[in-house]
A and B are shown apart, each in its own frame.
Chain A
Amino acid sequence: MSMSGSAIETRRLDLYYGDFQALTAVDLKVPEREVTALIGPSGCGKSTLLRVFNRMNDLIDGVRVNGQVLVDGKDIYAADADLLRLREKVGMVFQRPNPFPLSVFENIAFGLAVHQLAPRREYDSIVEQALRAVLLWDDLKDRLHRSALALSLEQQQRLCIARVLPLKPQVLLMDEPCSALDPIATLHIEELMQKLKQEYTIVIVTHNMQQAARASDRTGFMYLGKLIEFGATAKIFTQPAQELTENYISGRFG
């Protein structure tokens, strides 16, 4: 836990893809153990910002970052930053569920083995705990050794969330985690987020404003690479301070 109570903090963050400036002077403090949603029209930089938090943009050619990004109080772009440790601390869930073509059990054990976090004899109980946390245990306890690809999309997405948990991350990043799911499965994942936020800080990118409204505690509205407004979700959706925010959330553009 950092001194500031922020799980993530950015200071004057700029990000360039070659000549294109994707993020401009973003100052953001993501509070611990809350759900923070990033919204904004396509291309506004919300996914780029999310990917900054575990340095997923590093693989893209020509990426340049100015400013600071602190995760748990440490600058993750510092020269001595430990990328493997960062990815342990900051887990990510993607738009389309992407379980490994392995069994349910192995999907969860995979990260344990890679990060050598626990002796093999503890895997059973760790897998069970992870599946319980995402409310999959009762459904899957008799199918642990079947292929994860045979699960429903919602179950696959839950599994992808469960897969992150044994690494004991502090932050869960979710990039459009429900866009491949039907509305009921979407509500289930949102419920799960409410449960998980008791232990984890969650940052979600969503182009579904209603989802941000329903499921988050804080909302950041981004536009053209800038963080236009950031505040309590109830406030943003009833009394946004910026006209641009109001125009976007009320559907006047975007």
Chain B
Amino acid sequence: MSREHFQNMLREVEHELAGMGEMVIAAIDRSVLALQHVDKAEAERIIRDDAAINCKRWEIENQCVQLFATQQPVAGDLREIVSFMDLITNLERMADHAKGIAKIVVMHDQTPLLKPLIDIPRMAAKAGEMIRRSLDAFITQDVAAAKAIMAMDDEVDALYEQIFRELLTYMMEDPRTITRAVYLIWISHNLERIADRVTNICERIIFMVTGEICGN
């Protein structure tokens, strides 16, 4: 029964954090689906719904501040709360990237997409999986899992590279495709940034468990 009350408070924040993660994953999924259907109304809704994710971030931050102020966390507990603060910042930025995708959908003209989407949904699925797995690894304090998830970022980077090259050929062949191709590049760039932020979460997991900040 060592500081059970405090431990319960930590579990509560973890629970909130997992909830925020699901909100972010849903925003990413929805933004890519809106892109596939060039659904501007849905894109507008995604942009509006981002406010709820920002709210959740401030809520969790406030919980952390209260834990600092009242519970005098040290050692592993301290590192965990510091990590909560970092994770919510990263998650909130990921949601901004999903919002960025929705904004591009709004900008898209009424013509169909340049090409049927293949790799972009794949990138999105992988990024979503990385987020979910990283939050699981955070809660289970699993360093090995964190390292494995970091390696997945290379797969996302490779997809990005592939999409970029493919779209480059479209643009070279027909300059009239440039606007729509650039939109798709921006979108895949947003997804690449999301996956990159997951690696920040993984670094935090390693820090939280071992106390070591991993350098590059």
The answer to whether the Cβ of B214 comes within 8 Å of any Cβ in the partner chain is no
Interface of B is mostly: helix
A187 to B65, CA, bound (A): 21
A191, CB-defined interface residue at 8 Å: yes
Q: Which residues of A contact B (CB under 8 A)?
A: 135, 187-188, 190-191, 194, 210, 213-215, 233-234, 237-238
Could you mark each residue 1-44 of chain B with 1 if its beta carbon is under 8 Å from any beta carbon of chain A, else 0?
A: 11111100000000000000000000000000000000000000
A188 and B2 CA atoms in complex are apart in Å by 7
What is the CB-to-nearest-CB distance from A234 to chain B, in angstroms, rounded to a whole number? 4
> Which residues of chain A are within 8 angstroms of B66 by Cβ–Cβ distance?
234, 237-238
Minimum CB–CB distance from A185 to chain B (whole Å) comes to 12
Q: Is B118 an interface residue (CB 8 A)?
A: no
| C-alpha gap A68/B106 in the complex (Å) | 66
**A228 shortest CB reach to chain B, Å:** 18
Q: Which of A187, A191, A194, A237 lies in contact with B70, CB distance below 8 A?
A: A237
Residues of A within 8 A of B3 (CB): 187, 190-191
Contact B71 A238 (CB under 8 A): no
Considering only residues 38-77 of chain B, those with a C-beta below 8 Å from chain A are 65-66, 69-72
The verdict on A237 contacting B6 (CB below 8 Å), with A135-B1, A188-B1, A191-B1 known, is no
5 tightest Cβ-Cβ pairs between the two chains A and B: A213-B70, A237-B69, A194-B5, A234-B66, A238-B69
Contacts of B6 in A (CB 8 A): 214
Task: Evaluate contact between B1 and A214: CB separation under 8 angstroms.
Answer: no
> Inside 8 A of A213's CB, which chain B residues have their CB?
69-72
CA distance A233 to B71 in the complex (A): 11
* Interchain CB contact under 8 A, B2 and A234: no
